[in-house]
Chain A
Amino acid sequence: MKYQDARLRRMLAAEYVLGTLRGPARRRFERLARADAALRAEQYFWETRLGRLALAVKPVTPAPTVWLSLLRRIESGNSVPLRARPAEPKPVPMRRIWAGLAAAAAVVVVVMLGQRGILPGAHETAPVAQAPTAVAPAAPVYVAQLKVPDSTMQWTVSLSLAKGRMTVAAAGDYPQLGQHSMELWWISPQGPVAIGLLPVQGNGSMALPKAMLAQGGITLAVSLEPQGGSPTGKPTGPVLTSGPAVQAA
């Protein structure tokens, strides 16, 4: 059998890691390596060495929607599409997922509030207005810019928790909308809470959910829904965009 030739085994491991071993041969290697420690060692030799090359690539921050879609995939149990991998289901309660999302959102907020390198969870130290002339922020206003990737559609959102209202200004265009609506959600620690349907053009104003608070930052998300909004009260369509609302005053 070919896999007994030591030189060939080494070369197969090297080409597997490099990626030039493709197709059925690649699957075959994976199968054999699972039961063959020496072959695995050879594979790991190359993974640790060639892996250095990966560090030369410039990092690119993925859009926030990627993280949201990832959570949705975990949540729906639609896990690892890699073929023939017996999934070990690790069910996660919905609230833990959203708690994680809120934690991640808090990180984003902190990063956006000036590069101070504050750790997540330290939101109470978030800088307010530094200028001594600032008007006393009795009722803080939070603003968010929500942009739908790969389109010109965007909204500028401004909300006042004290007044319980928000205003929205739409700009751009989302040609793929068709017979759908775009719904705005507040990502609360307990999960998404509907705020309302977003205007596609012009300005709008809507009431905020009564329970809405700024603890740990405010994360907003926009989902694509059937015309008139989600029939279930929870997002049913894809998340188009999401982002934090940051304190403006």
Chain B
Amino acid sequence: MSSATADPERLTQLLAAIGGGDQRAFAQLYESCSSHLFGLLLRILQRRDWAEEALQDCFLKIWQKSETYEPARGAPLTWLSTIARYRALDLLRMKRPEVEMPEEGEEPPMTLADPGQDPVDGAIEGEGIDKLRDCMRGLQDEQRRSVLLAYYEGYTHQELARAMKAPLGTVKSWVRRGLSRLRDCLEGVGGVVEQE
């Protein structure tokens, strides 16, 4: 993927420069991260025009608020993805009711690295053993599916229930149990033993 250009140290420097109003740094950040964020937005929003709108909103926010970045929110690209995702969720909430299916003539959004591949597998390439993957694998199928669908499709509980053909209450508890187990595992409580 965009390895060299998305180097966390460089992105951190760019964010700091943008906080000082450096337009050139802003252009460079856009150059480095926009395709990653756009891919993510397309995946969630499934419509190019919405994804473009969200991408702009997201970068406007970065332009105004880059100084709010703190390392506690993850590497810069993680933080930027978080901002993009939250914006996408807001847009979905405003817009999804009007579209249930992709519009006719619109190409089906196949933006995953490999449609047949488990998205979680893709996430760990080049990063060595990843706890998230192990912990995800430790979930029951329904728990895991509902968490991934919520993450990648931006589904609400209701939408999850429809997609998974299960009662709302059941789906809610899949999500909650899934997250709760995931948290225990990620923290190393009774889960996979962490090896440093």
**Chain A residues within CB distance 8 Å of chain B:** 10-11, 14-15, 17-20, 22-23, 26, 41, 44-45, 47-63, 66-67, 69-70, 73-74, 79-82, 87-88, 90, 92, 96-97, 99-101, 103-104, 107
User: Quick one: CB contact mask for B42-67 with A, threshold 8 Å, 1 for yes?
Assistant: 11000000011001110111011000
Given the contacts A10-B183, A59-B38, A15 and B175 also touching, CB distance less than 8 Å: yes
* B119, CB-defined interface residue at 8 Å: yes
Q: In the bound complex, what is the Cα–Cα distance between A61 and B37 (angstroms)?
A: 9
Nearest-neighbour CB distance to chain A for B187, whole angstroms, equals 9
Nearest-neighbour CB distance to chain A for B180, whole angstroms, equals 7
Q: In the bound complex, what is the Cα–Cα distance between A46 and B59 (angstroms)?
A: 22
Contact between chains at A57 and B39 (CB < 8 Å): yes
* B14, CB-defined interface residue at 8 Å: no
Q: Which residues of chain B are near A92, meaning CB under 8 Å?
A: 21, 23
Q: Which residues of chain A are near B145, meaning CB under 8 Å?
A: none
Contact between chains at A100 and B151 (CB < 8 Å): no
| Interface size, chain B (Cβ < 8 Å) | 70
Q: Kindly identify which residue among A10, A52, A57 contacts B130, using a CB–CB cutoff of 8 Å.
A: A52
Q: In the bound complex, what is the Cα–Cα distance between A19 and B43 (angstroms)?
A: 15
Q: Which residues of chain B are near A23, meaning CB under 8 Å?
A: 93
Q: In the bound complex, what is the Cα–Cα distance between A59 and B111 (angstroms)?
A: 8
* B35, CB-defined interface residue at 8 Å: yes
Q: In the bound complex, what is the Cα–Cα distance between A114 and B75 (angstroms)?
A: 31
* B113, CB-defined interface residue at 8 Å: yes
Interface positions, chain B 143-196, Cβ under 8 Å from A, are 147-148, 150-152, 154-157, 160, 175-176, 179-180, 182-183, 186
Q: In the bound complex, what is the Cα–Cα distance between A58 and B111 (angstroms)?
A: 6
Contact between chains at A100 and B27 (CB < 8 Å): yes
Q: Kindly identify which residue among A22, A61, A97 contacts B93, using a CB–CB cutoff of 8 Å.
A: A22
Interface positions, chain B 96-143, Cβ under 8 Å from A, are 111-113, 119-124, 130, 132
Contact between chains at A101 and B183 (CB < 8 Å): no
Q: Which residues of chain B are near A60, meaning CB under 8 Å?
A: 35, 38-39, 42, 111
Of chain B, the residue at the smallest CB distance from A41 is B72
Contact between chains at A59 and B36 (CB < 8 Å): yes
Nearest-neighbour CB distance to chain B for A59, whole angstroms, equals 4
Q: In the bound complex, what is the Cα–Cα distance between A64 and B60 (angstroms)?
A: 16
Q: Kindly identify which residue among A11, A20, A66 contacts B52, using a CB–CB cutoff of 8 Å.
A: A66
A-B CB contacts (within 8 Å), total count? 180
Q: In the bound complex, what is the Cα–Cα distance between A58 and B122 (angstroms)?
A: 9
Of chain A, the residue at the smallest CB distance from B179 is A14
Contact between chains at B24 and A80 (CB < 8 Å): no
Contact between chains at A61 and B34 (CB < 8 Å): yes
Q: Kindly identify which residue among A47, A59, A70 contacts B82, using a CB–CB cutoff of 8 Å.
A: A47
Q: In the bound complex, what is the Cα–Cα distance between A207 and B27 (angstroms)?
A: 31
* B77, CB-defined interface residue at 8 Å: yes
Q: Kindly identify which residue among A57, A70, A87 contacts B40, using a CB–CB cutoff of 8 Å.
A: A57
Q: Which residues of chain A are near B27, meaning CB under 8 Å?
A: 100-101, 103-104, 107
Q: Which residues of chain A are near B124, meaning CB under 8 Å?
A: 52
Contact between chains at A55 and B151 (CB < 8 Å): no
Q: Chain B CB within 10 Å — which of A10, A55, A56 has the most?
A: A56
Q: Kindly identify which residue among A15, A20, A69, A100 contacts B23, using a CB–CB cutoff of 8 Å.
A: A100
Given the contacts A23-B93, A48-B74, A53-B151, A11 and B113 also touching, CB distance less than 8 Å: no
* B13, CB-defined interface residue at 8 Å: no
Of chain A, the residue at the smallest CB distance from B180 is A11
Q: In the bound complex, what is the Cα–Cα distance between A99 and B74 (angstroms)?
A: 31
Q: In the bound complex, what is the Cα–Cα distance between A45 and B182 (angstroms)?
A: 12
Q: Which residues of chain B are near A53, meaning CB under 8 Å?
A: 119-120, 123, 132, 148, 151-152
Contact between chains at B85 and A69 (CB < 8 Å): no
Contact between chains at B175 and A74 (CB < 8 Å): no
Q: Kindly identify which residue among A10, A11, A47, A49 contacts B132, using a CB–CB cutoff of 8 Å.
A: A49
